[in-house]
Structure 1
């Protein structure tokens, strides 16, 4: 029996997608965008460091990092600050500002905590200066610089995904508690739509957060203005390429799933209509 509407492979939706994709690939702007996308992915995922770090430089860098992390004055200031602040907090009961002797005790103890807080801030600045010297020693375009930017990006990326997962979970809980009388298909489609929107919002927010973090990170390596500008642009391009790839894959997966489910629903509806017509025609044939 010949199927109506042509061969099984003549799907109008697939043909439309192929037609649109073919026309898009012929556009110069789309080709430039794909080249930039490939460059961004390469920078964020595979690019090696342009500045060679010798084993001697690596050993010196690691020694500078260890020296910055193990500052005795920093740990001493931190321990004294914790102790002094805890001692002052013991007197901070309810409404201590209008209660004696707690008000007097706080005013007597808090200056010591403030003094150690200032000392701790000074030690933190000194420690950060040492870390800046260590980063400047190996250079922004070294493997250490690329590992730093990739670590910051993937940290922001995971936070964006976690935000999306939490918001989607809360939405599901609220929808279950609302106890709406809806069919399973509508519930699943609503959940998918909310999940897609949450992942889009979360990853775009993570992208903007990473951009601000990237600018701060670049300045800690003390590069020249040209290198800093190029690194920031490539870092943003790489982050945007990864986020776009993830979102496009997500959209494609959702669109494919909705399309398949839609075809199944339409096929079942047509099959049910055909059976009803056969049942209505059966008495007439008798």
Structure 2
């Protein structure tokens, strides 16, 4: 899914129409700019009325609620322009199709964003776990601390990858709906995307677990070997007493 070519080919004419539609959707609109300015002024006007403890003071509370009505009306106008822009973008995407290069590329970007978010979560969690272990470590040798750090990193990265899958699945339906696919096409794309995402995560976790297991085994083996060598050096054969 994330490496295969798109099933639907986009012609240069289709790409040109798509680019023009996207450009039109993001084009400057005087009406939208005016609506945003009115909303900003209404928001600041409401904010000026919020004096100290305005909620418990009847005149100020009534004034704030009065101004909030104007702010809500201005915000509704801005949301209307936002909805029109989203609809234009959705129509442009629908002209290419969900199974086009545009749809596949957007799903790839969505997955890698979720994947990177999971890695960042694991890295931060491992960092703070390491800091806490170092602070509260008492009479512990370096080997045990390294082993605990490796186990903690493996657990955190596993949790981060699981979280990334759920984040990807949660964001995928909105992306699918933006292409206006049919019910069967959207369901098929969702299933294929989920299988591809799980395959990538499974491969990453298998490599992680394998590397972690090999590292832990190597550290334990070296520690035992060094312990036996040190024990051998400390042992001395008893000397016989010669009686002349």
TM-score normalised by L of structure 1: 0.78
- Write the mapping of 1:1-286 to structure 2, written as runs, cut at 5 A: 43-44=1-2, 46-70=3-27, 72=29, 73-99=31-57, 102-277=60-235, 279=236, 281-284=237-240
Over residues 194-221 of structure 1, what are the superposed CA-to-partner deviations in whole Å (9 max), with x where a residue is unaligned? 2211111111111011112112211221
List structure 1 runs of 4+ shifted beyond 4 angstroms: none
For 1:146 and 1:79, how far apart are their aligned partners in 2? Answer: 37
User: Per the alignment, do residues 89 and 179 of structure 1 end up closer, same or farther by CA in structure 2, a change over 3 Å counting?
Assistant: farther
Q: CA RMSD in A?
A: 2.0
For 2:138 and 2:60, how far apart are their aligned partners in 1? Answer: 55
- How far apart are 1:179 and its partner, in Å? 4.5
User: Per the alignment, do residues 103 and 48 of structure 1 end up closer, same or farther by CA in structure 2, a change over 3 Å counting?
Assistant: same
Q: Structure 2 unaligned runs (5+)?
A: none
TM-score normalised by L of structure 2: 0.90
For 1:77 and 1:283, how far apart are their aligned partners in 2? Answer: 100
Task: Give the SS at the match of 1:119.
Answer: helix
- How far apart are 1:178 and its partner, in Å? 2.7
For 1:119 and 1:113, how far apart are their aligned partners in 2? Answer: 10
For 2:212 and 2:77, how far apart are their aligned partners in 1? Answer: 55
Q: Structure 1 unaligned runs (5+)?
A: 1-42
